[in-house]
Structure 1
Amino acid sequence: MIHHKQFKIKHSFSKGLNQILKHNNSKDDGFTIIESLVGMLVASLLVASIAPMILLSTATRLQSRRVEQGSQAAKSFIDAVRSGRIAVQSSDSTDEYIKTINAEFKKYDPSDENTKRSLEKNPGDYLINDTDDKEMPAPQDATGLYCFQTDGFIRTPFNCANDSNNQKDQFYIQASRIIVENSGPEDGYRLAVRVYRKDVDFDQTVVASVASIEPSKKTQTIVTNGLGNKQAPVIELTADVIKNNTTFLALCSRLGNAAEKDCQN
């Protein structure tokens, strides 16, 4: 009798357990079509919301790297000019390889107020301009431009213009010299440099900064959500190039320093 009761209890327990397991299995059979569609919709919304941030971050990182490389190209070019590895004119002085602009740049005279300059009052005397023939207008083609290659080699304007499809070329470099009037060969000069991307389209308008009348900076911005403005320079800068015998007075005359006693001494 006792054995029979134990058998009934075990049978009832086993039956109940099977029903519970069967019930749970029916719930875990899988997602319904509606549940799957809702899940896909939620995932799509999440991806769509973060996609612009990912694109902006990626584009900004690439543009920042491009500006950094352009700055390195400009500095390499300036160092090459200073060391004489890039000639600025022919040995007989008949040909200018790097064009002179601002040939009438006034020499500083402490007694003449018109020759005193400051970055605030005369930005065009310190920055590169794109205003008239005396300045450095934006290039219209590759003529006169240097090519900076990925391996650091700088090609001359002649080779650069006649072989513009070189795969190693990374940037175009535009350069000019700002020389004070009546200055001697040992007085030095200011070197103006613009760096453009190699994919600049010369069939479209190429832009540059304007500083003489209404200052307008037109270099490429680091923050971008696309490929950046390839028609604008990556960087614009000026650097003083001095010779072995360049005097402080010559440098002072070029900069238009307002410290009269310093220039006179």
Structure 2
Amino acid sequence: MTKPKQHQNLSQPRDGGYTIIESLVAMIVVSVLMIAIAPVMAFSVATRVQARRVELATQAARTYIDGLRTGAIRPIGSTPASQPGFPTDATTAPPSSAALYCFKSEQTSDACGISKKDFYVQGIRSSGNNPTDTGYSLKVRVYRADAPFGSLTTGQQSVANSGLGDPKAPLVEMQTEIPPTTNGGGSARQSLCSRLNPGAAANDPLCK
């Protein structure tokens, strides 16, 4: 009786997995890709942060303008007293943060400027002795709470290419007309007419 011969498998087994060299190459490729896209990701996040900051600053400017139109923000020395921030004359030097209107997007008991969501609003009005009686042209600038108030600049920032933004430049700039708030008999249009052409304003049908 003959025994069946066992056939030897002469083929060598293949090596499985990655070698150290292959792993190193893969790590290098991933690192290069991460380095390439990291600045784009960082700029995208910074732009979203800046866009949100501009949105809150716009809300601060509108709140400030509404306060002036309703008489909630009044000149220094008025009775009853109001919080600081009444617009200064165009010829007046830029005030310190203590004289500006503080807008707190989060109602907390902390002092203004503690939160990154706080803003200072600067109002600049046209020249006039009694602005609440005659009305005035108003320019509004909104600065970050951490702005260096000794070296502020003008010119609204651009969200598209500013990244995290320049603390010295205003986030928002806008201009509007504030009607008289004390005599109750004027509108923004009537106020503008009386200041541009005082002699003809009373007889001009467009100013009535």
Matched, 1:222 2:162: no
- The aligned runs of 1:62-141 (5 Å cut-off) are 62-91=49-78, 98-102=86-90, 134=91, 137-139=93-95, 141=96
Distance 1:50 1:236 in 2: 34
* Cα displacement (A) at 1:168: 7.8
Pick one of 23, 46, 50 that aligns with 2:33: 46
Please give the TM-score of this superposition, normalised by the length of structure 1: 0.60
Pick one of 118, 129, 152 that aligns with 1:206: 152
Distance 2:28 2:167 in 1: 38
Q: Identify which range, 190-199 or 55-64, moves more after superposition.
A: 190-199
Aligned to 2:126, what secondary structure does the other structure show?
strand
Aligned to 1:229, what secondary structure does the other structure show?
coil
Contact 1:90 1:97 in 2 (8 A): no
Aligned to 1:27, what secondary structure does the other structure show?
coil
Structure 1 residue aligned with 2:174: 237
Structure 2 residue aligned with 1:128: none
Distance 1:173 1:198 in 2: 9
* Cα displacement (A) at 1:99: 4.4
Structure 2 residue aligned with 1:105: none
Bigger RCO of structures 1 and 2 (CA < 8 A, at least 6 apart)? 1
- Superimposed CA distance per residue, residues 213-258 of structure 1 (whole angstroms, 9 cap, x where no aligned partner): xxxxx2222134643101111112122122431154432344x59x
- Superimposed CA distance per residue, residues 1-40 of structure 1 (whole angstroms, 9 cap, x where no aligned partner): 8xx69x55xx43xx54xx66x62xx321x32221111111
* Cα displacement (A) at 1:197: 0.4
Q: Percent of aligned positions with the same letter in both sequences?
A: 36
Pick one of 172, 179, 185 that aligns with 2:120: 172
Superposed CA RMSD = 3.7
Structure 1 residue aligned with 2:192: 251
Distance 2:175 2:64 in 1: 12
Which amino acid is 1:177 matched to?
A: R
Distance 2:73 2:49 in 1: 30
Aligned residues: 196
Q: Identify which range, 241-250 or 55-64, moves more after superposition.
A: 241-250
- Superimposed CA distance per residue, residues 172-216 of structure 1 (whole angstroms, 9 cap, x where no aligned partner): 11123325x5878543222322111011123x52212xxxxxxxx
Aligned to 1:42, what secondary structure does the other structure show?
helix
Structure 1 residues 48, 235: closer, same or farther in 2, change over 3 A? Answer: same
Structure 2 residue aligned with 1:120: none
Contact 1:101 1:177 in 2 (8 A): yes
Which amino acid is 1:252 matched to?
A: C
Distance 1:146 1:80 in 2: 10
* Structure 2 portions without partners, runs of 5+: none
Structure 1 residues 57, 143: closer, same or farther in 2, change over 3 A? Answer: same
Contact 2:87 2:122 in 1 (8 A): no
Which amino acid is 1:191 matched to?
A: L
Which amino acid is 2:148 matched to?
A: D
Which amino acid is 1:197 matched to?
A: R
Structure 2 residue aligned with 1:149: 104
Structure 1 residues 253, 27: closer, same or farther in 2, change over 3 A? Answer: farther
Pick one of 52, 59, 77 that aligns with 2:46: 59
Which amino acid is 1:172 matched to?
A: Y
